[in-house]
Structure formats: structure tokens, C-alpha cells
Amino acid sequence: MERFRSLVFLVSILAAIGLSAGHVAVHAAAGGADNGAQTPATAKAADPDAAGSESYAMHCAVCHGDRREGNPPGVPSLVNIKSHLTDQQIAQLVREGKGRMPGFPKLNDDELTGLLEYLASAPPVSPVLAGNHHGRPELTAEAVAGGALFAQNCAFCHGRDAMGGETGPDLTLSKLVLADTDGSKISAVVTEGRIEKKMPAFQFSSQELLTLAAFLRARVVAAAAMKGRRRGVDVSDLQTGDADSGKKYFDGAGGCARCHSPTGDLAGIARRFEGLQLEMRMLYPKDAKSSVIVTLPSGQTIAGTLAYLDEFTVGLRDKDGVYHSWAVERVKYTVDSPVQAHVEQLAKYTDDDIHNLMVYLQTLR
Amino acid sequence: MKFPTNAIAFAASTLLLLAAGSLPLPAQNLEPEQLLNPSSESWPLYHGDYSGKRHSHLTQIAPQNVANLILAWAFQTNQLAMIKSSPLVVDGVLFFTVPNNVWAVDARSGHMLWHYVHKTEEGEFIGHRGVAMYKGWLYFTTPDAHLISLNAKDGSVRWDKIIADVKLGYWSTMAPLVVGNHVIAGVGGDLDNLCGYLRSFDPDTGEVQWQWDASPPPGTPNATTGGTTWMTGTYDPELNLVYWGTGNPTPVLNGATRPGDDAWTCSIVALDPDTGKLVWGFVASPHDTHDWDAVETPVLVDADFHGKPRKMLMQSSRNGYFFVLDRTNGKSLLTVPFGPINWTSGVDREGRPIPNPDKEPKPDGRLIAPDEGGMTNYRSPSFDPRTGLFIVDARPSWSLYFTKPADGEYGWAGADFGLWSKSVIEAIDYQTGKIRWSHEVGQGGSGAGVLTTDSGLTFTGDSTGNILALDTRNGKTLWHAGTGAPMQTSPITYELDGRQYLVTGSGGVMFAWVLPVSKPTRVAR
């Protein structure tokens, strides 16, 4: 099935490219195609102006790349350059150069017009993008460009279709992605990374970040269209337990009630979190804080939230939010980490315990 | 330079050259014989030598003076890609990589000699492990699964061959292994149902000599695909066997279409390097459904095992088990977990873990230890012959694994999510599997690769970015330096002009550490 869908997706990409920036919906044709992985190597971009394309290849591609991807941050991507520069501005840049970019004063008007037309066309796309995509995507040129970027940099962890895979979460279910109307939230995460979750930071241009966001939005739409056949973990998948047994575990063997209360800190928890997010939080809340008390050589003690700890340095934020740190051999310190109880519990759960507890927590609305 | 097996020939050629009035200067020329007995001035193979011990006989940097280490140089790649490669050092030049990039750097000064860039956007950019060398030529694998031969003098391309078809979903990140006149290269690619394989190339012409397939052709009924070959193997010249670890089966998390053990995925195999024929195989994770590639270094050790001299192969495997095999025949000597695992119902008579069917991924999820990154991963362990300790970056971890019919039977076919992990450097007694000492290196992330030396030092790193020098006997910290990013590779060492260099990569920077020149500190042993 995957291969069939990938063929459909490839067809839709080719169609989108063939019609330049047109927004084309391609409907899946019924049939038994099964060799979608044999992507035709001949997939080529439409070429609205061969002269412009040649001119680009001769003058620009050496720095900005065959697919206009650039090499950020030094060399900007030219994908969708026309959305933030006018023809006049581009022409001036090309003629006069800027910074490290040389000028091309000898380009005649016809060549320049051809180049501008070429830059307005959809960029060539790597056929690798046509992997295992789903649904009937209506991909804009922007989303196609973002898809190429995603395939190279993100797909290994988040899956080629952004629906999760090797450790990386399903981005089509991400609250942040779903809430991000202008691409700013996605851009911030990509640019800063999520070091604590092992996600590296990427230095993409603002234009590239927008293409990534466009690709993710297209993936959200495609994923939503799958309904019951949706990959990944749905809320409905996590309902196999029994609430009464879950409550019993909460109050008894699980030891949850030692720290938590269904009418206290957990009141309404199921309104704040759901599905996999709730279950993962239940098993180990990654944002839980530890507190620390540091005793200085003078005997003075400073308490705060543990902010850094390795073999050599201990750091805290005090009640005013100010960061302090010490070499560990100069002080005594005591860390109080209630979340450690969650780690110890991991070795004790049966899978039934987890499923029961999960159903019980969902009653706390 | 010392080449014991070649001493007479070397002396003779030196005399000839002297007679001709010219001194023999080293010239980036690595003869296959030098790979059999690497000189202390070189690190000519991914693992340093063919055994995979990542152990050096150098002793200048020692427990007594390691606290004095200073920075000799740092080399900035000026790239975001993290250095995951283990450098080669040949004739005073250090070669290392990130995806699509190779650098040649003066091993004394860190000065760049050349930088080669392979231009492709196809394939996978997840990491790169380094180059291989034969005579004056380097061999470099690419994200689009090409094998490129470069002139070591200037980085110019001699030829460009194809290891596998990137359009099908293959890529390559590994450092090839040179054995005799074979350049053995492998593939990555488990996002699709593909056959993993090794391909041997002629070092001069690039012609394909043989191919060994880890699994049957895609489409074979009730058979697995997969078994990628993305890490560098080891070699026993006496037995003339190459040892390789293979990756997970595909579909990855859904094992329904591939009943049985799924050989030779998640396996350790012994191959004849001249023909590519399988001599024996050992399935480290029968019927894997958790992505636990068994590609970790197959470390070759000749020593006593329970009182009998043995030719052994040791692997700390991603699935959480430490294996000791008799490498003449692949028979198990020891199988024991080196951290928390919960996915088996025991170990069978052949020393293979027995997977618990209820711990395969399920629609409502299964709690699994370790997580998909595994109890350890590609960063190298080290075997210290003096103490008999196998030292590994271990990662106790827990995760949730899911698969359901909608996830299909292609590629990943499920989803998994890490819950919690920490990293611990563990020193394993290879005769019992008992952990003699452990040294915690931080929450969350994974630790670094490990290097041991004859002076009794263990070099590694923590999850916050410190490089650590530990006392191999007890794991106590003797020196550290913050580098700004956790080490994602494995340290190497070499000696030039009587000075021992330790080289470690963190983030996009390569660091070389030495003892200060002003304090002669050679330690006699």
C-alpha cells in the first residue's frame, strides 16, 4: 500500500511542477501499481524559459545550487525569492552584486528577463521526496521546496511523511504545528532546536523555514484526510485499560497517591492533556523540576531550582530567577528530585498497569 | 616509523634511497602491510587497527600527568553538522568527515590542507563516520550511496562508483574497511523494505568484486528485508575473516510479514574477504521489532576465557546484551545484559536472546527497555587488554512502542517514543559480564565513544559536553574539559615528533590535546 500511495504522491508532485505554481489536486486513480519506489529518474522540473534556466546554471548555480537551495547562512536560498524581493530589486542585485556576491553587469536585458522568469518558476525537486507520502496532497511550490528540505534534514527522525518514525514525534499531531498559523512557532523550534529532546538546531533562512512550515501544513491536511486509516497513535488506541483497576493501582501498588491527588494537582488533567501526550507525561514528565540546596564553605545555604548539574558544576536559579553556579568540590549540595519516583516505577509497571492507569487518568476531567 | 613485519624491507629501501642521495619522506602512502601493524604515528583504520579494540599502546599521556593536558589545536568545520566520524591519521595528516565533506588537516597544527565537497541533496544526511585509505587514495561514502576515491594529497576525485541506488531509498554513512586489495563498503536504508548488503570494490579500478546480501530479495514470501551494514567491521588476518554487524529487519516495528529469526539481520557475520561468502552468522536479536541494529563494533580479543586461550569476538549490542563469541565458529561463550532489559523471556542454548512476543510493538503500546537508540549505539567501545575490561558507553532507557494495521507493512510500520534515559560508562569483565565499575555521565543524552591506552587511561565524554580522562582501573575522573557539545564520535590518539596527541570531536569542532612541551613528562613503564 505504501508503494501505491507513493506513486500517487509522485504523480501529484509532477503535476504540480508541470503546471508551475498551479495548485493542483490529483485524485488517486484506482489500480494495482506496486512499484512506486522505482521513482523515475527522469523527473524534471518544467522549464518555462530555457534561456533563463541556462543563465541560472551558468552564473548562479555554482553558489546558490542546482535547485536554488543555497547554502545558508552564507549563501541564501533563492526558492520563492520573488515573495520577498521585487523583480527590480533582484535585477539590481544581479547587476551590482552585494556582499560576497559578485555583480553581473554584462547580462543583457533579455537574459535578465529570462533569469527572472526562471526564478519565478517552481524549483526542481529531488525525486527522493516522492517516498512514502499519503493522501492527496495539494502541494504548493513552497510546500514542495519545504518537502525537499524536510527529506534531507528531518525525515530520519520524524518519518518521510512527518508522521513520526525513529524517535521523532508525529508532527501532524503536534499541538505546536497545529496551532502555528504563520510558521513562527515551527521556525522557532527548528532554529533553536530542542536540545533536551535531542533535536538539533538548524540554520535555515527565514524563507526556508516558511517552506518547511508550508510542507508541514500540507502534511497535516493529508493526515487528517486519512481518518480511520491514520498511521500513528490515536487517542482511541489508548483505551484498552480499565478505570477501576487504574484507580486501584493509583492508590495502591503504583504509589501515585503518595505525591499526586485526583482532586489536587491532577484535577482536570484530562482536559489539559490527551492521548499519547498524556500517557508519556504520566510515565515521565520531562519538564518536572528538581530543587537543590547548596551549602557554601561559609555555612550559608542557598536554595533554588536545579538549573545545571554535571560532575564538576552545580547551578541553580534562586527565587528571583537569578542563576548561580559553583564548582562542586567547593560546596555541598542536596538535590531533591521527586520525579525520580517515575524512573523507579518504569521497571515495575506491567503494560496492563499502564493501560489501566491511562484510562483512569482520563476520567479526571 | 616502525613497521615490524616490514622492518627488513623498509631498512633496505631506506638504504637504497640514502645511496641515491634522497631521504625518504613520508608521502601519504599506506601499504596494506601497514594496516596489519599500524605504527604509533598513525591511526590508519576507522578503529585504529583491525581488532576494533580502540586501544593504543602509547603511554606518554598517563594518569600521573593527564591533568596537565592542554589544547594543541582546534579545527572549525564551520558547519552545523555534528562530527560523528573517527579520523584517520597517516603520515602526519588527519582525515575526517561530515556528510558530503572531507577534510585533510595537518595532524601537528590543525592547519587545513584541503576540503572536498560532494554535491548532492539526495539521500540521508544523518551522519558520517569517516574515510578509509589504501596506498595514496581515500575512499568516501556519500548520502546518495556513492563510493568516491580521492587523491589523499589534494582531495581530487579519481573515480566515483555506486554502492547502491539512492532512488530506492539507500544511503551510506559508513567508513569503508580496506582488507588486502578489497575496499568493503556498506549501506543504510531502513525507511524502505530493502536488502542490506556489503559490496567489495577494487581499490584501484573501483570494479565491484563481490556483494554479500544480508537478507533475501524484497518480495520473497514470508522473508525479511533489511540488514543494513552502516558500521565498519573488523578483520582477523590469521583466520582471513571479516566480521560485520548488520542492521534491523524491515518492516521495522511490524514483524508479522517476516516470521522466524530474520537472518542475517541484527546479526554478527563472518565473511571471507576474498569472496564475500558467509562462513558463519550469529543472530544477536532474533526477529527484531525494535530497530536494534547489531552493528556495534565486533571487537576481536585473543585471551583466556575461563582458563582456556580463545580467539573471541565481543559485542556490546544495541539490544542490551553483551555477547562473547568464539570467532573461529560463531559459537556463544557468554550472553549477558549490561543494563535494564525487559523484552526477552531468557537466552536460548545458542546464547541468543529469546524475544517475548508480548513485547513486540502493539496498537495500545508496550513499555520497552532499552529504547530504540539502544543500550549503546555507533560510538565505539574499547577493550583494555591490561585489565581485561570491555568499556562501553551504556544507556539505560525506557520507551513506548506501537504498531497497528494502519501502520502497514512497509518501512517503519509503527512508532516509538523515548521516555527517559541516562548514560553510564561501564567497565565489563568479559569473562563474567559483571560490571566492575560504572561512571554516570548524565541524564538524557548518550555518552561518547571510548579509547583506552596502555598507560591506564580511558578517554570518553559526558552528555553535557565534557571530555573525560578516567582511570581505567576504577573509572575515577582524572581530567576533563568542557567543549560545548557532547562528543558524538570516538577519540583517537597518535604520536608525532615524540609528542602524543589525543583527538576528540564535539559539535562541528575537532580538538587535539597534548601535554605542555616545556615539561618533558614521558613516563617510563
Indicate the residue among A87, A120, A153 that finishes a domain: A120
Query: Is residue B273 within 8 Å of B241, Cβ to Cβ?
Result: yes
Q: Catalytic annotation on B291?
A: yes
Is residue B486's pLDDT more than 90? yes
Mean pLDDT of A346-359: 98
pLDDT of residue A56: 80
What cell does B90 get?
597517516
In a domain, B436, yes or no: yes
Is residue B252's pLDDT more than 70? yes
Mean pLDDT of A311-323: 97
User: In terms of domains, do A139 and A27 share one?
Assistant: yes
Query: Is residue B127 within 8 Å of B84, Cβ to Cβ?
Result: yes
> What's B45-107 look like in SS3?
CCCCCCCCCCEECCCCCCCCCHHHCEEEEEEECCCCCCCCCCCEEECCEEEEEECCEEEEEEC
Is residue A39's pLDDT more than 90? no
What cell does A313 get?
558544576
Indicate the residue among A120, A149, A180 that finishes a domain: A120
Distance from the Cα of B509 to chain A's closest Cα (Å) equals 16
Cα B480 to Cα B2, B379, B452, B465, distances in angstroms? 32, 19, 15, 10
User: In terms of domains, do A25 and A115 share one?
Assistant: no
In a domain, B524, yes or no: no
Hey, which residues 357-376 in chain B have their CB within 8 Å of chain A?
358, 362-367, 369, 371-373
Residue B261 forms contact with A (CB below 8 Å): no
Whether residues B121 and A155 touch (CB distance < 8 A) is answered with no
Residue range A271-301, pLDDT digits in tens:
999 999 999 999 999 999 999 999 999 999 9
In a domain, B12, yes or no: yes
Is residue A47's pLDDT more than 70? no
Give the CA dihedral A52, A57, A58, A61, nearest 10 degrees. 120
pLDDT of residue A358: 98
A12-21, A58-67, B260-269: range with highest mean pLDDT: B260-269
pLDDT of residue A108: 83
What cell does A296 get?
557554601
Which residues in chain A have their CB less than 8 angstroms from residue B82's CB? Answer: 200
Residue range B283-296, pLDDT digits in tens:
999 999 999 999 99
In a domain, B520, yes or no: no
What cell does A232 get?
500513528
Interface test with B, best of A233, A235, A342 (most B CBs within 10 A): A233
In a domain, B525, yes or no: no
Is residue B297's pLDDT more than 90? yes
pLDDT of residue B522: 57
pLDDT of residue B60: 98
Query: Is residue B55 within 8 Å of B452, Cβ to Cβ?
Result: yes
Residue range A234-276, pLDDT digits in tens:
899 999 999 999 999 999 999 999 999 999 999 999 999 999 9
pLDDT of residue B392: 98
pLDDT of residue B22: 52
What cell does B10 get?
623498509
Which residue would you say has higher pLDDT here, B423 or A53?
B423
Residue B407 forms contact with A (CB below 8 Å): yes
Interface test with B, best of A310, A342, A353 (most B CBs within 10 A): A310
Whether residues B121 and A159 touch (CB distance < 8 A) is answered with no
pLDDT of residue B468: 98
User: In terms of domains, do A300 and A188 share one?
Assistant: no
CA dist., res. B404 & res. A240, Å (int) = 14
- Kindly give the residue spans of alpha helices, DSSP state H, lying in chain A: 2-18, 50-59, 61-64, 87-96, 109-120, 141-153, 155-158, 175-179, 184-192, 206-224, 243-251, 269-272, 275-283, 340-346, 351-361
CA dist., res. A208 & res. A217, Å (int) = 14
Say whether A233 sits in a helix, a strand or coil: coil
Mean pLDDT of B351-360: 98
- Mean pLDDT in chain A? 79
Is residue A33's pLDDT more than 50? no
pTM, to two decimals: 0.79
Q: Which domain holds residue A303?
A: 291-337
Phi, psi of A43 (to 5 degrees): -55, 115
What cell does A23 get?
495548485
**CA of A153: which chain B residue's CA is closest?**
B125
User: In terms of domains, do A178 and A94 share one?
Assistant: no
User: In terms of domains, do A252 and A356 share one?
Assistant: yes
Q: Which of A142-156, A200-214, B319-333 has the lowest mean pLDDT?
A: A142-156
CATH number reported for the structural domain that contains residue B313 in this entry? 2.140.10.10
The counts of H helices and E strands in chain B are 2, 39
Mean pLDDT of A184-188: 92
User: In terms of domains, do A190 and A304 share one?
Assistant: no
Q: Which domain holds residue B274?
A: 4-514
User: In terms of domains, do A350 and A268 share one?
Assistant: yes
CA dist., res. A19 & res. A186, Å (int) = 29
Report how many domains make up chain B: 1
User: In terms of domains, do A131 and A220 share one?
Assistant: yes
Q: Quickly state the pLDDT bin for A70 (edges 50, 70, 90).
A: low
CA dist., res. B223 & res. B258, Å (int) = 5
pLDDT cut 90: percent of chain A above it: 40
User: In terms of domains, do A300 and A165 share one?
Assistant: no
In a domain, B523, yes or no: no
- In this structure, how many other beta carbons lie within 10 angstroms of the beta carbon of residue B329? 11
Report how many domains make up chain A: 4
CA dist., res. B55 & res. B38, Å (int) = 12
- In this structure, how many other beta carbons lie within 10 angstroms of the beta carbon of residue A5? 22
Residue range B105-134, pLDDT digits in tens:
999 999 999 999 999 888 888 899 999 999
Hey, which residues 319-358 in chain B have their CB within 8 Å of chain A?
340, 342, 358
CA dist., res. A139 & res. A18, Å (int) = 12
Mean pLDDT of B20-42: 78
Please give the span between the terminal C-alpha atoms of chain B, in angstroms, as a whole number.
21
- Mean pLDDT in chain B? 93
CATH number reported for the structural domain that contains residue A326 in this entry? 2.30.30
Distance from the Cα of A88 to chain B's closest Cα (Å) equals 31
User: In terms of domains, do A219 and A95 share one?
Assistant: no
In a domain, B178, yes or no: yes
Indicate the residue among A120, A138, A158 that finishes a domain: A120
Is residue B457's pLDDT more than 90? yes
Q: Which of A26-40, B159-173, B392-406 has the lowest mean pLDDT?
A: A26-40
Hey, which residues 223-242 in chain B have their CB within 8 Å of chain A?
none
Residue B516 forms contact with A (CB below 8 Å): no
User: In terms of domains, do A319 and A178 share one?
Assistant: no
Mean pLDDT of B439-466: 94
ipTM reported for the complex, 2 dp: 0.91
pLDDT of residue A63: 72
In a domain, B521, yes or no: no
Mean pLDDT of B361-368: 97
User: In terms of domains, do A130 and A217 share one?
Assistant: yes
